[in-house]
Structures are given as structure tokens and as C-alpha cells.
């Protein structure tokens, strides 16, 4: 398996843009390389650069682009802020990974409609026209999180899938069933584990998902409800990137040694 990490595991993602206490990019890449990774996803535009990645001997395993597909005007804004910069950088560097599309997070929503999927198809074409691979990430708290919504995406588009067992579980599905639903459309993997106690509180309405994220609903690998043995067995022979993610709301320099220890164990669980 081709293993990679992602900035979200180190507290750098769309939720933390603008914070001034994030781990500097150079230090993060040094830490990642020290764990034995040779690839990383891009993270928010402007955080990582091709020069930094080359300096640390790290390849790009793709770039995550959250877009507000539910709203035409907002979607057009997100193209300029997220989609185009990420796609252009991946194209310019000859990255081996895809643009990873996802809907923006929203508290509640109706079922995605035809206009939603029209915008997904538009985003897919914008990537393909640049010669860049593209996948769609089903994602908790977005318009495409449940098995029925994933099935609608598969029917209304031809985009490959970024399968994530953690988001499949939080989104109301059984990870193995969602993986089988996506079938050969899976071209990119994000691996997560889920704390079953926090998940039960979210489902009972006792805890908002935003707070659960901060409380660690995506927990260290092997400590949660995801059956990694079954998931990895299902994807035996998979030749895309397998990205290890334990979403953290923010990580400071002082937090970095402890986070690196957990990430080393996560990597060991997958390798084992």
C-alpha cells in the first residue's frame, strides 16, 4: 500500500485557517518525514509549497477541496479560493494524487438535488481539463454522508470515490457496506477510527458533531469502532493512496511530540 499522511492529522485544515499557533509547515514536514512517510496531502492553499515538499523529499498525495455545492454563488467563490489553486498546483507539480472534492459542512440539509450534482460534475470537469485526477469524499455533516446520499452521487456522477470508513460510520452507514456500495469507483482511501462512546452521544443528540470533533471522535487507530482488518482486507491490492487521518482541531508546537507518538502508533497499526 502507498501510505501518506495529511495536514488535518496535525491540526491544519479549513477549520483552523487563520490561527497563528499552528505548527509551522517546515517543522510539520520534518516530523512527517521522520515517521517514515514519503507523501502528504496538500492541506489548505498557501500552507505547503512545492519547494518545501521537495526540500523534505515528500510527494503530494492529493489535495482536499471543500466546496459549497449547495449554493451557486458560494460554489463560485470556493472555486477561486480552493478548487482552482489546488488543481493548478497539483497539475504544475505532476502530483500522483487527486483533487479530493467534498461538500462543505452544514448542520442540517435536505437530500442533494440535481443542481448539487451538476456543480459536482462541473468541479470534476475543471480538474480533468487540467489533466488532474479527481475523486469525491463522502463526508459527515455534508449533503453526501449517508449511504442513500452516496448512492445518489454514484448515480448522478462518474467521479471516483475517496472512501473513508470513519466518515461512513459517522454518516450513518456500515463502513464495509459503504465500501462495497462504492465498489470499483474507490480510487483514494482516507483511514480513520471512531470513538464509539462519542458517536453514541452524537446520535442521541447529546453532543454536537462540531464539539465531538474537538473532543476526539476520530480517535487513535485500533481504539475505536472501525474494523481495520476487514477494511484493509477488502482493499487488498489497492493501488491508490491510503491516507492516514486522525482529524485534530488544532495542534501547537508544544503538542507536536505527543501527536507524533500517536501518529507513529497509527502508522504501526496499518502496517501490521
Does an H or E element contain 156, and which?
helix 147-156
Range of the domain at 91: 2-271
- Domain CATH for 132: 3.20.20.150
Please give the share of the chain, as a percent, with pLDDT higher than 70.
100
C-beta of residue 104 within 8 angstroms of C-beta of residue 78? yes
pLDDT at residue 250 in the model: 85
- Tell me how many domains the chain contains: 1
> Which residue has 488535518 as its cell numbers?
8
Distance (Å, whole) CA 25 – CA 23: 6
pLDDT at residue 15 in the model: 83
Q: How many of the other CB atoms lie within 10 Å of CB of 168?
A: 29
For the segment 196-207, the average pLDDT, to the nearest whole number, is 96
For the segment 147-176, the average pLDDT, to the nearest whole number, is 98
pLDDT tens string 91-102: 998 888 999 999
For the segment 230-250, the average pLDDT, to the nearest whole number, is 95
Q: Is 241 left (phi over 0), alpha (psi -120 to 50) or beta?
A: beta
Least confident of 53-57, 85-89, 103-107: 103-107
C-beta of residue 265 within 8 angstroms of C-beta of residue 31? no
C-beta of residue 153 within 8 angstroms of C-beta of residue 182? no
pLDDT at residue 18 in the model: 82
C-beta of residue 222 within 8 angstroms of C-beta of residue 269? yes
pLDDT at 107 over 80: no
C-beta of residue 8 within 8 angstroms of C-beta of residue 43? yes
Distance (Å, whole) CA 135 – CA 111: 20
- CB neighbour list of residue 238: distance below 8 Å, 6 or more residues apart: 1, 186, 189
pLDDT at residue 16 in the model: 87
Amino acid at each position: 500500500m502507498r501510505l501518506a499522511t495529511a495536514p488535518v492529522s496535525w491540526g491544519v485544515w479549513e477549520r483552523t485557517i487563520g490561527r497563528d499557533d499552528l505548527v509551522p509547515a517546515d517543522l510539520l514536514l520534518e516530523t512527517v518525514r521522520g515517521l517514515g512517510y514519503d507523501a502528504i496531502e496538500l492541506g489548505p492553499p498557501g500552507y505547503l509549497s512545492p519547494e518545501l515538499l521537495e526540500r523534505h523529499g515528500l510527494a503530494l498525495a492529493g489535495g482536499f477541496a471543500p466546496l459549497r455545492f449547495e449554493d451557486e454563488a458560494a460554489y463560485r467563490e470556493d472555486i477561486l479560493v480552493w478548487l482552482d489553486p489546488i488543481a493548478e498546483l497539483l497539475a504544475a507539480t505532476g502530483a500522483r494524487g487527486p483533487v479530493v472534492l467534498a461538500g462543505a459542512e452544514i448542520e442540517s440539509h435536505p437530500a442533494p438535488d440535481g443542481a448539487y450534482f451538476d456543480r459536482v460534475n462541473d468541479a470534476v470537469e475543471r480538474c480533468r481539463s487540467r489533466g488532474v485526477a479527481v475523486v469525491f469524499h463522502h463526508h459527515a455533516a455534508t449533503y453526501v454522508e449517508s449511504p442513500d446520499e452516496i448512492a445518489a452521487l454514484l448515480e448522478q456522477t462518474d467521479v471516483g470515490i475517496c472512501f473513508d470508513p470513519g466518515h461512513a460510520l459517522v454518516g450513518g452507514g456500515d463502513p464495509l457496506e459503504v465500501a462495497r456500495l462504492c465498489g470499483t469507483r474507490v480510487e483514494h482511501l482516507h483511514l480513520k477510527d471512531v470513538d464509539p462512546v462519542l458517536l453514541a452521544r452524537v446520535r442521541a443528540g447529546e453532543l454536537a458533531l462540531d464539539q465531538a470533533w474537538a473532543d476526539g471522535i476520530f480517535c487513535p487507530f485500533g481504539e475505536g469502532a472501525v474494523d481495520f482488518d476487514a477494511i484493509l482486507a477488502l482493499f487488498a491490492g489497492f493501488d491508490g493512496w491510503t491516507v492516514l487521518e486522525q482529524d485534530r482541531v488544532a495542534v501547537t508546537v508544544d503538542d507536536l511530540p505527543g501527536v507524533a507518538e500517536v501518529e507513529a502508533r497509527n502508522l504501526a497499526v496499518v502496517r501490521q
